[in-house]
Amino acid sequence: MSLWKKLISYSSDKLQVPCVNHQQQYSGSGLLLFDKSTNCILLIHDYTGDYNCFGGRIKLEYNNDDFGVEKTACDELYEESRTLLSFDYKKLSTVHYVDIKNNYHNELFRCYIVKLELPLDIREQFHNIDLNKLPYNDDYFETNEIHLFPIEQFHSSTIFQSGSTKATNNLGENLALNERAIEVILAAKTKNIL
């Protein structure tokens, strides 16, 4: 069982529940940011110990909200970027997405692929955020690093063969990706979104 699937199975049902949206059951949502100026995707190093797309479980407050999936995706971007990045959930209706199936719970994770231009010093800005000024909420402290990963490496048919989960960032470092991020990248590649 993947780590992502394990994390979902251990989440508290009292705090977070699947959101019924568009006739599908979603357990979570997020964003994968593609920087048009560098042809890279931005991934976060999160509590899983690997690099991942921005995202998380649908919050209870959004369970009966028609835009719960979209709002969660944008909330996760804001929280996991430590308030550095934000996106208006209303604009997600025009953005491509992929749905990743979680077979363990028969739920879906929706990831929106947002193409934009990020600041050249995005990583420096992330590290210069004053952690003492962040809201006192664990959600803002799940991420400890961000990196850009050149997209061309994901077009290779051998990128994740032999069970490898590693990809090279724009600094030349070979870093492990979370299974959810890999599934999102491969699905977006298959749909010709990336």
pLDDT attached to residue 2:
37
Separation of alpha carbons 136 and 166, rounded Å: 33
88: closest CA among 128, 48, 116?
A: 116
β-strand pairing of 174-176 with 54-57: unpaired
pLDDT tens digit at each of 194 positions of the chain: 333 333 333 333 333 444 444 446 888 999 999 999 999 999 999 999 999 999 999 988 887 888 999 999 999 999 999 999 999 999 999 999 999 987 666 789 999 999 999 999 999 999 999 999 988 888 889 999 999 999 999 988 777 776 778 999 999 999 999 999 999 999 999 999 99
Overall pTM > 0.75: yes
β-strand pairing of 97-102 with 54-57: unpaired
Q: What are phi and psi of 51, to 5 degrees?
A: -85, 135
Domain count, the chain: 1
Q: Which domain does 28 fall in, by range?
A: 3-190
CB contact set of 17 (below 8 Å; sequence gap of 6+): 58, 60, 63
pLDDT attached to residue 65:
83
Any idea which residue has 């199936």 for tokens?
Answer: 101
CB contact set of 135 (below 8 Å; sequence gap of 6+): none
Q: What are phi and psi of 108, to 5 degrees?
A: -120, 150
CATH number reported for the structural domain that contains residue 104 in this entry: 3.90.79.10
User: Which residues, listed in sequence order, are joined to residue 34 by a DSSP beta bridge?
Assistant: 41, 115
pLDDT attached to residue 132:
92
pLDDT attached to residue 10:
31
pLDDT attached to residue 136:
85
